[in-house]
């Protein structure tokens, strides 16, 4: 199952609400979405979210490290966040819409994986450009090459801008072609797309009734 993702202040409430459901709680940490707070503050936020019951942590990288080519600083930042996560799985958000080039996306993907990320994720959903298929191809080929080189398996999460079932199918097809069926499971591939649920509900209703409902008929519209 995918996780319910909340800000740190809501982690404890989400854990209580989902108790016994088998649905994990993820926390967006490290000064989401900008990631500009001091590193010590970001690490403390991670530790507090884990203490409150989050089993997954989404971190945001410092984009400046990528744009200035300071790969050591990026590695050390992500590694410190991973250590602060303890047993919690860590998804590293690259904010690819801010990274300017696909080369930067590829390099940032490699550094994030080398620093211990369990997932790499395209976007916070707040950037001007979020998940795209070209960026996805670059990131999942980095995942494939990293596995071939190290034996380590890293998950992938496109986020933002995926609002229809047809959009989602394009990403699923790309994952299957590049990484195979093993990646088509929630511990290795997820969507970050809150509006996608409404369209999936509409498609299911159309399949059953032959008619599309108004978006307002669905809770997530």
pLDDT in tens, 46-65: 999 999 999 999 999 999 99
82 tagged catalytic:
no
Q: Looking at 58, 118, 167, 199, which residue is catalytic? A: 58
Nearest CA to 81 out of 108, 48, 57, 110 is that of: 57
Asked whether the predicted pLDDT for residue 218 surpasses 70, the reply is no
Which position among 82, 91, 118, 157 bears the catalytic label? 157
Which among 49, 47, 75 is positioned nearest to 62, based on CA atoms? 75
pLDDT in tens, 16-31: 999 999 999 999 988 8
Determine whether 157 is an active site residue.
Answer: yes
pLDDT at 216 (0 to 100)? 67
Was domain 4-190 assigned CATH 3.40.718.10?
Answer: no
The confidence band for 219, taking pLDDT boundaries of 50, 70 and 90, is low
Query: Which class for 107: exposed (0-12), middle (13-18), buried (19 or more C-beta within 10 A)?
Result: middle
Compute the distance between CA of residue 139 and CA of residue 122 in angstroms, rounded to an integer: 8
Instruction: Give the neighbor-by-neighbor strand order of the sheet with 89-93.
Output: 4-7, 25-28, 56-60, 89-93, 119-121, 155-157
Q: Single out the catalytic residue among 82, 121, 167, 199.
A: 121
Residue 79 falls in the annotated catalytic set: no
How wide is the angle at C-alpha 151 spanned by C-alphas 148 and 155, nearest 5°? 90
What pLDDT is stored for residue 76 in this prediction? 98
The model's pLDDT over 60-117, given as tens digits with 9 standing for 90+, comes to 999 999 999 999 999 999 999 999 999 999 999 999 999 999 999 999 999 999 999 9
Residue range 173-189, pLDDT digits in tens? 999 999 999 999 999 99
Half-sphere exposure for 150 (CA within 13 Å, toward CB) = 14
Where along the chain do its domains lie? Answer: 4-190, 195-221
């Amino acid at each position: 199952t995918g996780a319910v993702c909340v800000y740190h202040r809501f982690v404890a409430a989400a854990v209580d609400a989902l108790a016994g459901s088998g649905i994990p709680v993820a926390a967006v940490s490290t000064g989401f979405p900008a990631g500009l707070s001091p590193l010590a503050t970001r690490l403390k936020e991670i530790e507090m979210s884990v203490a409150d019951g989050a089993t997954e942590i989404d971190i945001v990288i410092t984009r400046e490290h990528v744009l200035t080519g300071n790969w050591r600083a990026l590695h050390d930042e992500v590694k410190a966040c991973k250590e602060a996560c303890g047993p919690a799985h860590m998804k590293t958000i690259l904010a690819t819409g801010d990274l300017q080039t696909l080369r930067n996306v590829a390099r940032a993907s490699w550094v994030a994986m080398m620093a211990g990320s369990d997932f790499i994720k395209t976007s916070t959903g707040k950037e001007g450009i979020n998940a795209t298929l070209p960026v996805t191809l670059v990131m999942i080929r980095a995942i494939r090459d990293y596995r071939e080189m190290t034996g380590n398996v890293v998950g992938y999460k496109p986020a933002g801008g995926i609002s229809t079932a047809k959009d989602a199918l394009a990403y699923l097809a790309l994952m299957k072609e590049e990484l195979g069926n093993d990646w088509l499971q929630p511990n290795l591939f997820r969507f970050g797309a809150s509006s996608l649920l409404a369209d999936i509900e509409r498609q299911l209703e159309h399949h059953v009734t032959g008619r599309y409902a108004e978006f307002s008929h669905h809770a997530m519209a």
